[in-house]
Structure 1
């Protein structure tokens, strides 16, 4: 009888602890820099509008796009005068519109932030981090990272890319065309709103001249292009064939006079998680060699969306003119970046992709979240904050030796490689 009571107590305790876990919280085996920083976190939503853009999603007629004003929601996390332990409910959905086999199902999940909190102004503005989600995704896809970085003294802006979200999955050419544009436009808008005298809450809060751009999957495709990896000229021909001969995407192509990637001095670092494109020859050697911003790549060795050996690792190896790192989760597939799957995704009868959108079949997503927090903190701390003491977390043997890796608890630096 005592054994049964003890078992019920343990089950109850396990359930309680699971219910209290909030996305981004450290697990017992979390590496050192995954811990949240000293700041409470505020969060606000803004909408920015890029006027008179080609309506790629509507398709080209006789090679010509009509124009539209492109509205983007941007979620911004920042250091705040607020309760360190305050929790927040974020709205999200399962499903994929317009796929009728995957209807839109709203749900909420918890984070640690305060909506519309008063910004905490520092002695100087905070570095800026811009986040670009995958196709499809949302601005809330990586809150474990956005909150974590804000708590460490960054302003973090996550774009919700129009025609590329769960509820608004437009034709793929729109995502191909707009990813780099949305990233730069968001940077420009936050730069303007951060100036002294602006009536925005960002005035004096963010330092857009000290920016990192972070992208997952199609976001990785976008941030690499903005960072200097111009696309293959053959890619322009592919885009034109899909759009009645329209060559608008040439502005992202290596060698085209309109392409300005890599020339924005405000951008100091790039993080590309499972970047898509190399297996489809989006880049050639010349384009990858033009990436000169320090770049941190994160990948799963079994990525079946972006590819690994001929995909992400090939991008890493081709970027010969920049300081770069490649963190690999051995055995993981594509989902190395998102929040964990919500409990709602475990409901019987749902399409399996509601679960597989987030989860990995080998790795605990919460574990990957903690490892990502650790290494991205080290990389951005070094590149944007000048924390040279963080070098020890990056200058590691490719595979952890018997003593493990700096910042990892004994016996926990397993299943990972770090090339540099």
Structure 2
């Protein structure tokens, strides 16, 4: 009797909601008789990563509800780089890795697409600087996976040094809403909470990436939810360094590398037998590090080893990057001659071409510039990243040529595009970048190079 009464109430509420016209963002929202995104409290434009009014087309959220889970993994029998350096003898341990997973989900009645995350300003190697902050995400903690439309492509996100699994959280949520399972790693010895010797990051970054991708594909429910033939990788800064290693590139056999890495140098120096991880079918490299360290045009990287990168790649950088160095990034891009590749440049931007916006408590210059850029709005950058990363992975992992068409710009410099409006106001027969609204495609360059062009 009670169940019948409850069903009647839900049915009536659903009818009322339908009568007043719910705005549908996800397919399941049509079935839930309430504001599943809690727009009354968190309207569009109030949560980082939300599409702002001038966002390009593919920054919009997809049709899926998004779940989020935290997992704690152990990579067995790894070298503890920190203790090995300190004690002078090889120390083996089970390496702990915390990861955040965003995935297409099915909500139960009453659940909403709002969750809270906690991260930290400061860093552990600077005593007294760590300060926690909380922020809102558009996902549902521990929601049930949506298996109906699976399996889905798997994407791994790898942060910089130091960083955290939440630094690109908005991108994880956005991709999950479009039918991806996204795993973001807290790289041990490389997060704000446990900053360790930089050598650990150099040694472990690619190892972490490969382990987590492989482990997720063996775990339930992810094994059945992910397509092992559609795996992508996103790396930012040192995450981009790790991604280059995972794709098959190695460091140069130089005195600089040997002196800095010591006993670990041999594991990172390029070898003829090196190969990219066969799981990875496409990769996005945000400001990858290492191209300006040393005197070689490709920095620490062995130029020939970059030719082993054979999967499609999207490179993203600021033209004034003073951390990874824009010229070094371009040299790495130019050297990856066997990859179908794109280079998206934010004119006059520095290194921060993908972090979420700065929290309100980031009032100190150093804290604020972990996220911010002196020229660009971080939120604007994030919307553009959502657009191009979606187009790239939809094309090269899902085979969606329509989404991929957004990468086919007619002019390299967005400022040169001419917008010609059709009768409905849409751009037609023009050189304007597809997906961008009038007067918004400015300050960007997008270059495409195919392996066939390199060989000419």
Q: 2:116: which partner in 1?
A: 89
Corresponding residue number in structure 1 for 2:66? 41
Matches of 2:289 and 2:370, distance apart in 1: 16
Shift of the alpha carbon at 1:208? 2.6
Quote how far apart the aligned CAs of 1:183 are: 0.2
Match for residue 407 of structure 2?
Answer: 394
Q: Report the TM-score, using the length of structure 2 for normalisation.
A: 0.81
- Equivalent positions of 1:144-163 (< 5 A) are 144-163=170-189
Residue 250 (structure 1) aligns with: 266
What do the CA deviations read for 1:43-88 (whole angstroms, capped 9, x no partner)?
A: 0011111112111122436863212210000100000002796211
**Residue 140 of structure 2 corresponds to residue 99 of structure 1:** no
Is residue 229 of structure 1 aligned with residue 254 of structure 2? Answer: no
Q: Distance in 1 between matches of 2:90 and 2:260?
A: 12
1:345-399 Cα shifts (integer Å, max 9, x gaps): 13xxx3x111000011110000000000000000000011110112321111201
Of 311-320 and 248-257, the range deviating more from structure 2:
248-257
1:369, 1:20 → 2: CA distance?
A: 13
Residues 1:80 and 2:105 aligned together: yes
- Decide whether the 8 Å contact of 2:287 with 2:324 is kept in 1: yes
Q: Say whether 1:288 aligns with 2:315.
A: no
CA contact (8 A) 2:44 2:51 kept: no
1:412 aligns with 2:427: no
- Partner SS, residue 96 of structure 1: coil
Name the counterpart of 2:379: 366
Residues 76, 158 of structure 1: 8 Å contact kept: yes
TM-score w.r.t. length of structure 1: 0.88
Matching residue within 196, 202, 205 for 2:225: 205
**C-alpha RMSD of the superposition:** 1.9
1:16-415 mapped onto 2 (5 Å cutoff)? 21-60=46-85, 64-82=89-107, 86-100=113-127, 103-193=129-219, 200-234=220-254, 237-242=255-260, 245-246=262-263, 248-255=264-271, 257=273, 259-260=274-275, 262=276, 264-280=277-293, 281-309=299-327, 311-346=328-363, 350=364, 352-396=365-409, 397-400=411-414, 401-403=417-419, 404-415=432-443
- Superposition deviation, residue 285 in structure 1: 1.9
Instruction: Give the C-alpha shift of residue 318 in structure 1.
Output: 1.2
Inter-partner Cα distance in structure 1 for 2:360 and 2:85: 41
Give yes or no for contact 1:381–1:390 (8 Å, CA) kept in 2. Answer: yes
- Once residues 251 and 284 of structure 2 are traced to their aligned partners in structure 1, the CA distance between those partners, rounded to angstroms, is 18
**In 1, distance between residues paired with 2:340 and 2:321?**
23
Contact (CA 8 Å) 2:71, 2:98: kept in 1 or not? yes
From the superposition, tell whether residues 367 and 119 of structure 1 become closer, same or farther in structure 2 (CA, over 3 Å). same
Q: Which residue of 2 aligns with 1:6?
A: none
- What SS does the aligned partner of 1:44 have? strand
5+ residue gaps in structure 2? 1-40, 294-298, 420-431, 449-456
Question: Alpha-carbon deviations, 1:60-118, whole Å to 9, x = none?
Answer: 36863212210000100000002796211101111111213x61111100010000000
Change (3 A) 1:122 1:239: farther
Distance of 2:205 and 2:351 partners within structure 1: 19
Contact 1:228 1:293 in 2 (8 A): no
In structure 1, stretches of 5+ residues that fail to align are 1-15, 194-199
In structure 1, C-alpha distance between the alignment counterparts of 2:304 and 2:214, rounded to whole Å: 27
CA distance in 2, matches of 1:27, 1:66: 50
Q: Secondary structure, in 3 states, of the residue corresponding to 2:113? A: coil
Structure-2 change in CA distance of 1:65 and 1:46 (3 Å): same
Write the distance in 1 (CA, Å) between the matches of 2:86 and 2:167.
34
Task: Write out per-residue CA displacement over residues 296-322 of structure 1, whole angstroms, 9 at most, x where no aligned residue.
Answer: 00000000000002x111111111111
Name which one, 1 or 2, has greater alpha-carbon Rg: 2
Q: 2: distance between equivalents of 1:249 and 1:188?
A: 25
Contact 1:210/1:384, CA 8 A, preserved across alignment: yes
DSSP 3-state at the match of 1:343: coil
The answer to whether the Cα contact below 8 Å between 1:91 and 1:109 also exists between their aligned partners in 2 is: yes
